[in-house]
């Protein structure tokens, strides 16, 4: 699962917050429950203490203190009821204390004496080694100046058990509740975000080639509808921009090509006149060469604009890049032989790709021509076509002059020249590599260059293999 | 032979007119679509050269009208656009050939000739320029009776030049015919091949057949007009 997806993050936050809220609520419930149970118990202890005091202490005057233990045992049998009862004089002298309870939950002798207080009713919780004891104490004036204190207590074991049961219940119920809430939330979030997947899938399909397509708009009146409407408006603006760029290309084509045709025609007509003087003939030739160069620049720029505008490639076919490179190298070989440059083509296996064959051929021609141009006599140019995973890799390696490191990042920029004086002699307007890059971009391919000055350069084109080729790679290797 | 040119670019129109008149054709020129339609309706032309971007009546519309009236006349389209789609559309609308600006005039003249004799003249199987013989069937080349061995590309280049003796071809035209459009801009390859070709068919002989016109290109044999 993609942990960065919006639905995952929403649900994770939701689950986290829900857990925190549930735990806090559960904790609060437990604390309140314990408090409520204990105060209820304390109230009972106080009531009982008062009862004992009322019925017994009133009789002390008649029967004497010695009769008290017997009376209490008879009336209340505290050991059997797991109760704690202690009666003491005001000075702290204990006249009765109950025995060890049947369940052994506390040791009556170990219960500390009640703290000195003038309050007639006092409640407290004693934490003993064996457990806690809730004690209610009543101070009772016995006719004369002496006073007695009656303490009645009970172990918290029962309340603790109750609280633990509730805790157990919560511990089971809470994760289930969180799970149910989270899965419900997940379903809701998925349903709410489903249109987003549809939007992004459609948006990924819209390129310069089909700018008239639009995203689906869900008529739900929610944020997603607003988003898709806004995106569609943006695509409309982009489409207009592409249209106007295409129109510009068409207009510029006409405006530049027509005068060039006239210029070339007039000059050609003159140049072929046999009566010309040598000097005039040379001048006309020179002008024609400039017209050629200008035409070439115009054609290259228009080709680049068209590639930028994403003009549909009508001839999209599947072909073998290795075969294309080998045959192109064959056609261009004389150019290399002329400079005694050895062109070696390494293509161990077919490398099927998809694209406009003529344009990819231009990539090969431009790269190869460049390599030959900048490699001195007797040099070597290596063409290597391999597969790397799902990609076709074409490398054009030469052992020529190389490219200075500071020029490398600019190699594919329009009109860029490494060295003005030298490359102008070699012809070309500095657009060849830009065209290579634009063609590659139109094919989803990347082109890059590495070079060591004085040792040579390597231009590398990475293009996705034709669909359904990956299986062959495994078979081949 | 009577040819109609419909081209709004005045200078270009004059140039084409002059070039065609030099080839002894009768030429009428119209500066816009409606004038072109007027002329095309009134006379029987052997060939119509039509620019696509015209004021008034568009070139494409004019092409349709002419085709509706006359199914026979060959039509050569001139255009500054080179979108393949449009090219297909115009061929479907009845264009016979298509030339993209900027074009070389030599190319225009060759296309005009080809359109005018379409179907009537069979291609000669042996081309002769001076004492050079190019046999198109066996692809053998002889000069002064001596057999000369050429590589396939050298042969293709020589055959292209020999098919129109005296005519000078630009490097771009040669690239387009002998190689393909991917090699455009690689005009130095033509120079290298011409040098090799010269080494084989000219250097051993006293008269040189391959002619260089600086800035224009290469031709085989003397200019017939000169």
User: How do residues A97-144 score in pLDDT, each as one tens digit?
Assistant: 888 888 888 888 888 888 877 788 888 888 888 788 899 988 877 666
Q: How confident is the model at residue A477 (pLDDT cuts 50, 70, 90)?
A: very low
- Cβ contact B81–A362 (<8 Å): no
Q: Is B147 in the same domain as B97?
A: no
- Cβ contact A335–B189 (<8 Å): yes
Mind spelling out the 3-state secondary structure of A41-94?
A: HHHHHHHHHHHHHHHHHHHHHHHCHHHHHHHHHHHHCCCCCCEEEEEEECCCCE
Smallest CA-to-CA distance from B41 within B70, B76, B6, B71 is with B70
* Nearest beta carbon to residue B192 from set A265, A334, A427: A334
With pLDDT > 90 as the criterion, what percentage of chain A qualifies? 25
Residue B226 lies in a domain: no
Q: In chain A, which residues have their Cβ closer than 8 Å to the Cβ of B213? A: 271-272, 285
Q: What average pLDDT does the segment A157-180 reach?
A: 90
Per-position DSSP letters for A117-164, written without gaps between them: ---SEEEEEEE-SS-EEEEEEEEEE-SSS-EEEEEEEEESHHHHHHHH
Q: Is the pLDDT of residue A1 over 70?
A: no
Per-position DSSP letters for A168-237, written without gaps between them: HHHHHHHHHHHHHHHHHHHHHHHHHHHHHHHHHHHHHH--TTSTT------TT-SHHHHHHHHHHHHHHH
**Of B88, B116, B144, which one is at a domain's C-terminal end?**
B116
Q: Is B146 in the same domain as B207?
A: yes
Cα–Cα distance, A81 to A103 (Å, whole number): 9
Q: Is A14 in the same domain as A81?
A: yes
Q: What average pLDDT does the segment A66-86 reach?
A: 84
Q: Is A275 in the same domain as A336?
A: no
Per-position DSSP letters for A258-295, written without gaps between them: HHHHHHHHHHHHHHT-TT--HHHHHHHHHHHHHHHHHH
Smallest CA-to-CA distance from B44 within B30, B28, B59 is with B28
- Cβ contact A261–B226 (<8 Å): no
**Of B116, B134, B168, which one is at a domain's C-terminal end?**
B116
Q: Is A238 in the same domain as A362?
A: no
Q: How confident is the model at residue B226 (pLDDT cuts 50, 70, 90)?
A: very low
Domain extent, residue B100, equals: 2-116
Alpha helices by DSSP H, listed for B152-221, are 152-162, 171-178, 188-201
Cα–Cα distance, A268 to A287 (Å, whole number): 10
DSSP state of A416: -
Domain extent, residue A456, equals: 316-476
pLDDT of B121: 45
Q: Tens digit of pLDDT for each residue in B167-221?
A: 888 888 888 888 877 777 677 889 999 999 999 999 999 989 999 988 888 999 8
With pLDDT > 70 as the criterion, what percentage of chain A qualifies? 92
**Largest separation between any pair of C-alpha atoms in chain A:** 164
Q: Is A253 in the same domain as A321?
A: no
Strand segments (E) across A256-408: 316-320, 342-346, 352-356, 380-388, 391-398
- Cβ contact B189–A269 (<8 Å): no
Q: Is A342 in the same domain as A460?
A: yes
- Cβ contact B180–A358 (<8 Å): yes
- Cβ contact B182–A288 (<8 Å): no
Q: pTM for the whole thing?
A: 0.62
A475 has a chain B CB within 8 A of its CB: no
Cα–Cα distance, B135 to B143 (Å, whole number): 11
Instruction: Compare all CA atoms of chain B with the CA of A333 and give the residue at the minimum distance.
Output: B189
* Nearest beta carbon to residue A365 from set B171, B186, B188: B186
What lies within 8 Å, CB to CB, of A139 at 6+ separation is A90, A117, A119, A120, A121, A122, A147, A148, A149, A150
Backbone angles phi, psi at A31, to 5 degrees: -60, -45
Instruction: Compare all CA atoms of chain B with the CA of A297 and give the residue at the minimum distance.
Output: B185
Q: Is A67 in the same domain as A100?
A: yes
- Which residue bears the tokens 């604390």? A31
- Cβ contact B215–A288 (<8 Å): yes
Cα–Cα distance, A445 to A438 (Å, whole number): 9
- Cβ contact B15–A266 (<8 Å): yes
Cα–Cα distance, A354 to A465 (Å, whole number): 7
Q: Is the pLDDT of residue A421 over 60?
A: no
Is the ipTM of this structure higher than 0.90? no
Q: Is A419 in the same domain as A329?
A: yes
Cβ atoms of residues A95 and A89 within 8 Å: yes
pLDDT of A300: 83
pLDDT of B223: 60
Q: In chain A, which residues have their Cβ closer than 8 Å to the Cβ of B31? A: none
Q: Tens digit of pLDDT for each residue in B108-156?
A: 888 898 888 764 444 668 888 889 999 988 889 999 989 999 998 899 9
Q: In chain A, which residues have their Cβ closer than 8 Å to the Cβ of B156? A: none
Give A192: exposed, middle or buried? Use CB within 10 Å, 0-12, 13-18, 19+: middle
| Token pair belonging to A183 | 């899965």
pLDDT of B119: 46
Q: Is B95 in the same domain as B17?
A: yes
Q: How confident is the model at residue A450 (pLDDT cuts 50, 70, 90)?
A: very high
Q: Is the pLDDT of residue A198 over 70?
A: yes
pLDDT of A59: 73
Q: How far, rounded to the nearest angstrom, does the alpha carbon of residue B110 sit from its chain's CA centroid?
A: 3
Instruction: Compare all CA atoms of chain A with the CA of B179 and give the residue at the minimum distance.
Output: A331
Interface test with A, best of B164, B216, B221, B226 (most A CBs within 10 A): B216
Q: Is the pLDDT of residue A184 over 80?
A: yes
* Nearest beta carbon to residue B104 from set A264, A296, A358: A264
Q: Is B8 in the same domain as B109?
A: yes
Q: Tens digit of pLDDT for each residue in A292-330?
A: 888 888 888 888 877 776 665 557 889 999 999 999 998
CATH number reported for the structural domain that contains residue A271 in this entry: 1.10.287
B-contacting residues in A 91-150 (Cβ below 8 Å):
none
pLDDT of A392: 93
CATH number reported for the structural domain that contains residue A42 in this entry: 3.30.450.20
B-contacting residues in A 247-306 (Cβ below 8 Å):
250, 253-254, 257-258, 260-262, 264-269, 271-272, 274, 281-282, 284-289, 291-292, 295-296, 299-300
Residue A181 lies in a domain: no
Cβ atoms of residues A427 and B188 within 8 Å: yes
pLDDT of A35: 93
pLDDT of A460: 96
Domain count, chain B: 2
* Of A210 and A121, more confident: A121
Q: Identify the three-state secondary structure at position A472.
A: helix
Domain count, chain A: 3
CATH number reported for the structural domain that contains residue B34 in this entry: 3.40.50.2300
Q: In chain B, which residues have their Cβ closer than 8 Å to the Cβ of A286? A: 214-215
A356 has a chain B CB within 8 A of its CB: no
Gap between the terminal Cα atoms of chain B: 23
Residue B30 lies in a domain: yes
- Cβ contact A272–B215 (<8 Å): no
Instruction: Compare all CA atoms of chain B with the CA of A296 and give the residue at the minimum distance.
Output: B185
What lies within 8 Å, CB to CB, of A235 at 6+ separation is A206, A211, A213, A214, A215
pLDDT of A4: 80
**Of B67, B88, B116, which one is at a domain's C-terminal end?**
B116
Q: Is B111 in the same domain as B131?
A: no
Q: Is the pLDDT of residue A471 over 60?
A: no
Mode of pairing for the β-strands spanning A132-141 and A456-464: unpaired
Q: Is A240 in the same domain as A155?
A: no
Q: Is A110 in the same domain as A250?
A: no
What mean pLDDT value characterizes chain B? Answer: 85
Smallest CA-to-CA distance from A456 within A419, A401, A417 is with A401
Residue A199 lies in a domain: no
Give A235: exposed, middle or buried? Use CB within 10 Å, 0-12, 13-18, 19+: middle
Residue A25 lies in a domain: yes
Mode of pairing for the β-strands spanning B168-169 and B47-51: unpaired
What mean pLDDT value characterizes chain A? Answer: 85
pLDDT of A70: 83
Q: What average pLDDT does the segment A443-464 reach?
A: 92
Q: Is the pLDDT of residue A18 over 60?
A: yes
Q: How confident is the model at residue A383 (pLDDT cuts 50, 70, 90)?
A: very high
Chain B: give the shortest CA distance to residue A14, in Å: 56
A331 has a chain B CB within 8 A of its CB: yes
């Amino acid at each position: 699962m993609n942990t960065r997806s919006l639905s995952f993050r929403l649900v994770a936050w939701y689950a986290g917050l829900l857990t925190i809220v549930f735990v806090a609520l559960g904790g609060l419930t437990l604390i309140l429950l314990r408090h409520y149970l204990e105060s209820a118990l304390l109230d009972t202890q106080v009531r009982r203490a008062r009862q004992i005091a009322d019925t017994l202490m009133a009789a002390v005057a008649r029967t004497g203190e010695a009769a008290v233990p017997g009376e209490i045992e008879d009336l209340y049998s505290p050991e059997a009821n797991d109760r704690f009862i202690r009666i003491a004089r005001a000075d702290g002298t204990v006249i009765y204390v109950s025995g060890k309870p049947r369940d052994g939950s506390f040791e009556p002798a170990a219960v500390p004496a009640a703290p000195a207080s003038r309050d007639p009713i006092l409640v407290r919780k004693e934490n003993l080694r064996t457990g806690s004891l809730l004690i209610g104490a009543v101070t009772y004036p016995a006719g004369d100046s002496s006073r007695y204190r009656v303490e009645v207590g009970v172990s918290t074991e029962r309340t603790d058990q109750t609280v633990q049961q509730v805790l157990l219940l919560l511990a089971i119920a809470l994760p289930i509740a969180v799970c149910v809430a989270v899965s419900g939330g997940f379903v809701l979030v998925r349903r709410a975000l489903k249109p987003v997947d549809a939007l992004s899938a459609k948006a990924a399909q819209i390129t310069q080639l089909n700018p008239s397509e639009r995203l689906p708009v869900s008529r739900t009146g929610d944020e997603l509808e607003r988003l898709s409407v806004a995106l569609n408006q943006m695509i409309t603006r982009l489409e207009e921009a592409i249209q106007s760029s295409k129109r510009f290309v068409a207009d510029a084509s006409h405006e530049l090509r027509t005068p060039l045709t006239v210029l070339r025609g007039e000059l050609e007509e003159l140049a072929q006149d046999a009566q010309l003087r040598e000097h005039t003939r040379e001048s006309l030739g020179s002008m024609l060469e400039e017209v050629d160069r200008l035409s070439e620049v115009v054609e290259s720029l228009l080709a680049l604009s068209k590639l930028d505008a994403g003009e549909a490639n009508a001839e999209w076919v599947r072909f073998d890049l290795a075969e294309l490179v080998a045959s192109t190298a064959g056609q261009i070989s004389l150019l290399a032989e002329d400079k005694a440059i050895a062109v070696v083509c390494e293509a161990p296996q077919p490398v099927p790709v998809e694209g406009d064959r003529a344009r990819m051929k231009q990539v090969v021609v431009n790269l190869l021509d460049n390599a030959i141009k900048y490699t001195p006599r007797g040099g070597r140019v290596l063409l290597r076509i391999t597969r790397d995973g799902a990609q076709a890799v074409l490398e054009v390696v030469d052992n020529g002059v190389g490219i200075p490191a500071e020029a490398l990042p600019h190699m594919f920029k329009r009109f860029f020249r490494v060295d003005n004086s030298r490359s102008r002699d070699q012809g070309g307007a500095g657009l060849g590599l830009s065209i290579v890059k634009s063609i590659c971009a139109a094919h989803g391919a990347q082109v890059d260059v590495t070079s060591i000055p004085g040792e040579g350069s390597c231009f590398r084109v990475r293009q996705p293999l034709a669909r359904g080729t990956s299986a062959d790679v495994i078979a081949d290797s | 032979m009577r040819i109609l040119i419909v081209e709004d670019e005045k200078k270009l129109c004059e140039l084409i007119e002059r070039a065609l008149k030099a080839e002894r054709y009768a030429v009428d020129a119209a500066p816009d679509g409606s004038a072109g339609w007027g002329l095309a309706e009134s006379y029987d032309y052997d060939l119509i050269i039509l620019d696509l971007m015209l004021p008034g009546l568009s070139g494409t519309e004019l092409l349709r009208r002419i085709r509706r009236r006359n199914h026979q006349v060959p039509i050569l389209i001139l255009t500054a656009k080179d979108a393949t789609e449009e090219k297909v559309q115009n061929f479907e609308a009845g264009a016979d050939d298509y030339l993209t600006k900027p074009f070389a005039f030599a190319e225009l003249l060759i296309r005009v000739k080809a359109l005018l004799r379409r179907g009537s003249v069979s291609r000669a199987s042996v081309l002769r320029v001076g004492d050079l013989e190019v046999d198109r069937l066996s692809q053998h080349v002889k000069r002064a009776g001596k057999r000369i061995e050429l590589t396939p590309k050298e042969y293709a280049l020589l055959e292209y030049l020999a098919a129109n003796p005296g005519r000078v071809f630009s490097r771009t035209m040669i690239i387009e015919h002998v190689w393909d459009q991917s090699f455009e801009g690689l005009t130095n390859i033509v120079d290298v091949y011409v040098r090799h070709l010269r080494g084989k068919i000219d250097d051993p002989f006293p008269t040189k057949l391959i002619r260089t016109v600086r800035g224009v290109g290469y031709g085989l044999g003397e200019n017939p007009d000169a």
